[in-house]
Structure 1
Amino acid sequence: MYPSFFFAHGMPTIVNETNAYTKFLRTLGLLLPKPKGIAIVSAHWESGVQLISSNPKPDTLHDFFGFPDALYETVYPARGDLVLSMEIEKLLAADGIRCELNHRRGLDHGVWTLLSLLYPLADVPVVELSVNPKLVPEEQYRIGRALKSLKARDVMIIGSGGTVHNLAKLHWQTEDAEEWAVRFDRWLAEKIAVWELEALFDYEGRGPFVREAVPSREHLAPLFISMGAGDEQQSAKLLHQEYEYGTLSLSAWMFR
């Protein structure tokens, strides 16, 4: 059975960078058995109801500004998978989770930057899912749990976001991580490792430096969804951890 994953997507520029994190993602894509499909939840698609992309030929969305021109020319030509989209819709609906198919959505940079590193040939069909940042973590987890059966048919479930994602406090001239960023990630890792859901679901009340680390919920929400997809065994492994510009956590988790 395929594990589920949470990957930080960092800056859009990671797609053209060579560093420890991009090397890790490229290597992981070579080591893992190629999935039959990818269901990926992106922090950059927010909606009030759970949306599921069903576009057979999704465009590459360049949903950012102020970056090098070459980045806007990047294309990730993965195809969609209507059968997988409909299966996701069926699973969510069966669990009482309101959801809708979206036939127009392309792949935003929370999707194609990561997948360009993991599967550069774009030869795995991709279905993107939105996040509702207004949902509490228990509800995000429930969404992932409803999707866990997809893993048995070799669908890779990915949450794309960031455990510490504070763009307002970036330090462009250093890679040294802020102490508060490290402390929040360390607390989060300790709770994830033992699957301490009560504490994790109350991270806003119990986690250290939450206001600095999680100024908005949408980038942490995919973590709970990918964890929910690992609810059966409740086994977690931190695969990679580093920081970019001091306050941007580049972490990768695997859940079974």
Structure 2
Amino acid sequence: MDNAILVGLSRQMVLRREMEIIANNIANMDTTGFKVESMMQKTEPGAPAVTQGGPKPVKFVAADGVARNFGQGGLTLTGAPLDMAIEGKGFFQVMDPNGPRFTRDGRFTMDTTGRLVTQAGLPVMGDGGGEIIIDPEKGEVTIGGDGTISQGAERVGKVGVYTFADAGVLEKAGDNLFRNGSNLAAEPAANASVRQGFLEGSNVKPVFEITRMIEVSRAYEQAGRMIDSGSDLSRRAVERLGKIQ
């Protein structure tokens, strides 16, 4: 197979993956706390298909991971007393059977035992690492900017908000959750504020993502035309050689 065809195919494979990421961004434009993603690319040397008269090695296009933008999304007032949004850098910590997870999705509720939990029933962790228990009979719940939860004059807990020196250590864990994929410890977020009765929206910019989708689609078609052209040149070369013989 011709080198140009292999390079074109490598480009198309990366573009296909990039299109999947863009489509996922658009699909999550209304997901609470969702953070937009983008494909990172690199050139990767590889053995050429044709070893005579061509560059050694050939540089192919390869994926280089997914970058995630943790920038602030817009806040929407819901008025629900257990809805929370983080203003600034930081994550809520919740606990699932596989360990601690982190999220910006503050759609919290109370289970039958009074625990503060996510929509999936995972307990929300307090700043001391324990679960937060709310007694419905003690009255209205108020949440301060530092995450302190009170009922009347009684303090019942404090929602932990954590940050990382490098947010790139966070990996997607499904259900709008992230896991810490390194040994880097989470630290209390010093400059974050908790807003009661608000939810943070996605930071996806739909117009920008649709523009990117069009650009990727055109690049994919262009790579396809390059492959077709290379294949056609190879075919004609073989035909001419056959006639000479």
**Same fold, judged at TM 0.5 (above):** no
TM-score range relative to shorter protein: under 0.3
The structure whose Rg is larger is 2
Could you say which structure has the higher strand fraction?
2
